[in-house]
């Protein structure tokens, strides 16, 4: 029995399902991580994996990035928690605002879910309205207002509305098909109680689904025309698609933005920011309450400052390299699947991609759900055996990092070759 299997048996006795986040479980048992560096994770059995899960997108710069580790090590000698303001919070806020011109003021929180929860409360506080519109398959964290037709682990485990969530809350969340701005317009024009629209500008929680041409500019126009705040959930895309996220890439200015993942390069830090008149509603100056003991803690803040400074310093090389590597990977995988006559689609942008086993384009929740997830599962397990770790679900994304080398890509392609052949059989 492997050490990971033994540990999983032990974990199940004390941790529900043996994991601290549902997406980490896969059959027959997940490997247990021991250490990581750059592009690699080693498990307790000392098996090395090339990591393409990359902290579900957080590790844009790779594991244990030197600039981040040295900033955090320095901070550890000064203190890990003060619960009183620090100079570094101002520095981080200025860096975030510098990269995201739609953000005039920003509050730091700890997780993406906390950021979206605060964004929605702010939208409700600002408009004094109740209902939120989200898009089918978008995942915005594990809280009641957004756990409705959500992607990621919730789609993977067939949970459309979570048990224990209140109907009174979920009925105030209206769901619109992704890439369908006409449906959004229809619902907004019929309903005068819309507090906000929240969207992943690139849907990275149903596999990868790209916004169709004009989708984002149309939803910006519809929300503006109807005075409804537009929230871009850039928890995945922030810093990953460009230094200023998807909003910079597509040239759209939302009213509120949420950031997490790549902001902290492996440390728990997130942010919610936006227009001054909205952000100033936060307590104690305003009456929208949000608070957290660990918010803005100096350890995570030092990691975030180092991450943004590093990204800004290397941006000219970073994004073109990631795109080049991603284009190479996806084109070869596409050719392999075509040669094997496996019906498939590959969606990709910047440093993210996903393959779907279907002959129809994947443009929304339903088309992603209709892809053959059993084939995906088989592909995943062969990749893992060959030392390639991608997120264990069709409804997640393959993430590249700055640490991947050409040799890593060659090894990855050899593994995809074997994995696709196994899918064919
Ligand atoms: C787009 C998006 N928003 C919000 C979240 C929630 O972030 P967290 O898991 O840090 O709460 C996630 C998590 O994967 C996400 O992908």
pLDDT digits (tens, 9 = 90+) for 187-198: 999 999 999 999
Tell me which residue has tokens 């040239």: 251
Give the pocket of ligand 1 (CB within 6 Å): 56, 111-113, 116, 139-141, 152, 200, 205, 233, 235-236, 260
What spacing in Å lies between the alpha carbon of 309 and ligand 1's midpoint?
Answer: 23
Q: What is the pLDDT of residue 352?
A: 98
List the one residue out of 55, 50, 11, 14 whose CA is nearest residue 30.
11
pLDDT digits (tens, 9 = 90+) for 198-239: 999 999 999 999 999 999 999 999 999 999 999 999 999 999
Structure tokens at 244: 């200023």
Structure tokens at 59: 């590790």
Q: What is the pLDDT of residue 150?
A: 87
Mark whether 139 is an active-site residue. yes
The full set of domains in the chain, from first to last, is 3-64+314-424 (3.90.1150.10), 66-310 (3.40.640.10)
Tell me which residue has tokens 């227009």: 275
Burial 247-276 (b: 16+ CB within 10 A, else e): bbbbebbbbbbbbbbbbbbbbbbbbbbbbe
Q: What is the pLDDT of residue 160?
A: 72
Q: What is the pLDDT of residue 252?
A: 98
Q: What is the pLDDT of residue 158?
A: 75
What spacing in Å lies between the alpha carbon of 140 and ligand 1's midpoint?
Answer: 5
List the one residue out of 248, 265, 266 whose CA is nearest residue 257.
248
- Could you give the count of Cα atoms lying within 13 Å of 199 in the half-sphere of its Cβ? 30
What spacing in Å lies between the alpha carbon of 113 and ligand 1's midpoint?
Answer: 6
Long-range contacts of 82-87 (CB under 8 A, 24+ apart): 82/297, 82/298, 83/293, 85/296, 86/296, 86/298, 86/301
Tell me which residue has tokens 């756990």: 147
Mark whether 365 is an active-site residue. no
What spacing in Å lies between the alpha carbon of 418 and ligand 1's midpoint?
Answer: 32
Ligand 1: which atom is nearest the Cα of residue 138? 1
Structure tokens at 384: 């893992």
Q: How many degrees, rounded to 5, is the angle at CA 195 between CA 191 and CA 199?
A: 100
Q: What is the pLDDT of residue 148?
A: 86
Q: What is the pLDDT of residue 2?
A: 96
pLDDT digits (tens, 9 = 90+) for 316-351: 999 999 999 999 999 999 999 999 999 999 999 999
Pocket test for ligand 1, best of 234, 258, 261 (most atoms within 8 A of CB): 261
Question: Does the bond joining 284 to the residue before it have cis omega, within 30 degrees of 0?
Answer: yes
Q: What is the mean pLDDT of each run of 10 residues along the chain (425 residues)?
A: 97 98 96 98 98 98 98 98 98 98 98 98 98 97 91 78 86 96 97 97 98 98 98 98 98 98 98 98 98 98 98 98 98 98 98 98 97 97 98 97 98 98 89
H or E element, residue 81: none
Looking at residue 18, the DSSP 8-state letter turns out to be G
Q: Please tell me whether residue 256 adopts helix, strand or coil conformation.
A: strand
Instruction: Characterize the bridge pairing of strands 398-399 and 352-356.
Output: antiparallel
Mark whether 233 is an active-site residue. yes
């Amino acid at each position: 029995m492997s050490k990971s299997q033994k540990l999983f048996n032990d974990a199940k006795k004390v941790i529900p399902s043996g994991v601290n986040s549902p997406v980490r479980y896969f059959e027959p048992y997940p490997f247990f991580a021991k250490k990581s560096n750059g592009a690699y994770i080693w498990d307790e059995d000392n098996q090395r994996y090339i990591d393409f899960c990359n902290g579900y997108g957080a590790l844009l710069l790779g594991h244990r990035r030197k600039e981040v580790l040295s900033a955090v090590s320095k901070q550890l000698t000064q203190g890990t928690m003060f619960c009183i303001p620090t100079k570094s919070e101002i520095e981080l806020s200025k860096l975030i605002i510098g990269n995201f011109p739609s953000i005039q003021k920003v509050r730091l929180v700890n997780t993406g879910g906390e950021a979206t929860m605060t964004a929605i409360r702010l939208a409700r506080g600002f408009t004094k309205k109740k209902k939120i519109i989200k898009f089918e398959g978008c995942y915005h964290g594990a809280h009641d207002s957004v756990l409705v037709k959500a992607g990621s682990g919730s789609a993977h485990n067939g949970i459309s509305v979570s048990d224990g969530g209140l109907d009174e809350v979920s009925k105030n969340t209206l769901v619109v098909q992704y890439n369908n701005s006409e449906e959004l317009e229809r619902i907004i024009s019929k309903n005068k109680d819309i507090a906000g629209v929240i969207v992943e500008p690139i849907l990275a929680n149903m596999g990868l689904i790209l916004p169709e041409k004009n989708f984002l500019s149309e939803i910006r126009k519809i929300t503006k025309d109807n005075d409804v705040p537009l929230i871009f959930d850039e928890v995945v895309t922030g810093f990953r698609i460009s230094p200023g996220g998807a909003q910079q890439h597509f040239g759209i200015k939302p009213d509120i933005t949420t950031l997490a993942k790549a902001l902290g390069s492996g440390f728990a830090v997130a942010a919610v920011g936006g227009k001054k008149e909205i952000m100033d509603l936060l307590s104690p100056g305003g009456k929208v309450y949000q608070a957290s003991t660990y918010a803005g803690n100096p350890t995570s803040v030092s990691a975030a400052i180092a991450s943004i400074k590093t990204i800004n310093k290397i941006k000219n090389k970073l994004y073109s390299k990631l795109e080049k590597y991603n284009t190479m990977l996806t084109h070869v995988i596409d050719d392999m699947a075509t040669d094997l006559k496996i019906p498939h689609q590959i969606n990709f942008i910047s440093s993210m991609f996903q393959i779907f086993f279907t002959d129809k384009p994947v443009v929304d929740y339903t088309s992603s759900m209709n892809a053959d997830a059993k084939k995906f599962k088989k592909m995943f397990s062969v990749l893992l055996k060959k030392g390639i770790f991608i997120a264990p679900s069709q409804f997640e994304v393959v993430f590249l990092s700055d640490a991947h080398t050409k040799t890593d890509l060659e090894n990855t392609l050899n593994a995809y070759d074997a994995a696709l052949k196994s899918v064919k059989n």
